[in-house]
Amino acid sequence: MSVLEVVQWPDPRLTETCAPVEAITPEIETLAADMLETMYAAPGRGLAGPQVGAMVRVFVMDAGWKEGKSDPLVCINPMLMEVSEERTSNSEGCLSIPGVSAEISRPAQVQMVWTGLNGGRYVQSFTGFAAACVQHEIDHLDGIITFDHLDAETRAQVEAEYAA
């Protein structure tokens, strides 16, 4: 395993849609292990393929490890199946936009389906911070970054802070 370089905004790969993973190969297994190591070293709670230059639909997350509740997930070809109408706002940071956080409103609960490294299909509901994390990482796979959730004025202000 190795720590990978995290792609930084405004790298154009962060705005591209990722390709589905066709098969779980040794390369995908190595990528997932390296992504987990990179995420923990950063230290972050989630990391998507394009954030390490891998343009495939893979993300890793461990929403509770900083509170001592480690539960690492490797999510291949994830899709949201259901999203709640109830919304919640969280201050979100991003390893690809260091030093910047923004208040983002998202559905409070989501249900996601994904493939694990063992080839099994999983379905799970997420709430709270974990729900925001899932949505943030799927956004990366679709070429959407934190800035894209902000109104024009707020985005300009936050981008100016980042550039400074």
pLDDT in tens, 81-104: 999 999 999 999 999 999 999 999
**For the chain, what percentages of helix, strand and coil (3-state, to nearest 5) are there?**
35, 30, 35
pLDDT in tens, 34-52: 999 999 999 999 999 999 9
pLDDT in tens, 150-164: 999 999 998 988 887
Residues with catalytic annotation? 137
Q: Is 118 exposed, middle or buried (0-12, 13-18, 19+ CB in 10 A)?
A: exposed
| CATH top class, domain 12-163 | alpha beta
Domain limits, the chain: 12-163
Q: What is the pLDDT of residue 163?
A: 83
Q: Please work out, in degrees rounded to the nearest 5, the angle formed at the alpha carbon of residue 93 by the alpha carbons of 89 and 97.
A: 140
